[in-house]
Structure 1
Amino acid sequence: MDWQSESPELWAFLESLHCGDILSGTVAAIERFGVFVALDDGPGHPTLPGVGFLGLPELSWRRFKDPTDVVQVGQRVACEFIGSDTYNAEARLSLKALEPDPFQAFADRTVGGQEFRGTVEKVVPIGVFVDLGDGILGLVPFREIDKRPAASPAEGFEAGDELAVVVREVDLPARQVFLSRPESGQYAGGVLPT
Structure 2
Amino acid sequence: MKVGQRITAEVTAVDLDQGRAWLSMAATENPELWAFLKSLQHGAILSGTVTAIERFGVFVALDDGPDHPVFPGVGFITFPELSWRRFEAPSDVVQVGQRVTCAFLQFDTSNGEARLSLRATQPDPFQSFADSIAIGQTLQGKVTKLVPFGVFVQVADGIEGLVHLRELTWTPVAAPEDVVQVGDEVTVIVTELDHERRRLTLSRRQASPGLQ
Q: TM-score, normalization: structure 2? A: 0.80
Query: How far 1:32 sits from its partner (Å)?
Result: 1.1
SS at match of 1:60: coil
Separation (CA, whole Å) in 2 of partners of 1:166 and 1:43? 52
Partner of 2:179: 156
- Residue type of the alignment partner of 1:22: I
CA distance 1:186–1:102, change in 2 (3 Å): farther
Query: Is 2:74 aligned against 1:44?
Result: no
After superposition, residues 45-194 of structure 1 pair within 5 angstroms as 45-149=68-172, 151-154=173-176, 155-181=178-204, 183-184=207-208, 187-188=211-212
Which residue in 1 is equivalent to 2:8? none
Question: Any conservation in 1 of the 2:40–2:104 contact (CA below 8 Å)?
Answer: yes
Q: Which has the higher contact order (CA 8 A, sep 6+)?
A: 1
Tell me, in whole angstroms, the C-alpha distance in 2 between the residues paired with 1:5 and 1:145.
58
Identity %: 58
Which structure 1 segments of 5+ residues have no match? Answer: 189-194
Root mean square deviation, CA, Å? 2.0
Rg (Cα) greater in structure: 2
Task: Measure, in 2, the Cα distance between the counterparts of 1:33 and 1:142.
Answer: 31
Q: 1:4 to 1:146 in 2, by over 3 A?
A: closer
Q: Give the structure 1 partner of residue 21 of structure 2.
A: none
> Is the 2:53–2:96 Cα contact (8 Å) retained in structure 1?
yes
Q: Once the 2 structures are TM-superposed, how far is the Cα of residue 134 of structure 1 from its aligned partner?
A: 2.1
Structure 1 residue 186 displacement after superposition? 5.0
Amino acid at match of 1:117: Q
Runs of 5+ unmatched residues, structure 2: 1-23
Size of the aligned set, in residue pairs, is 187
| CA distance in 2 between partners of 1:146 and 1:66 (Å) | 32
C-alpha distance in structure 1 between counterparts of 2:96 and 2:126, whole Å: 28
- Report the Cα offset of residue 2 of structure 1: 1.0
Distance 2:71 2:134 in 1: 47
Separation of aligned partners in 1, 2:155 and 2:47: 33
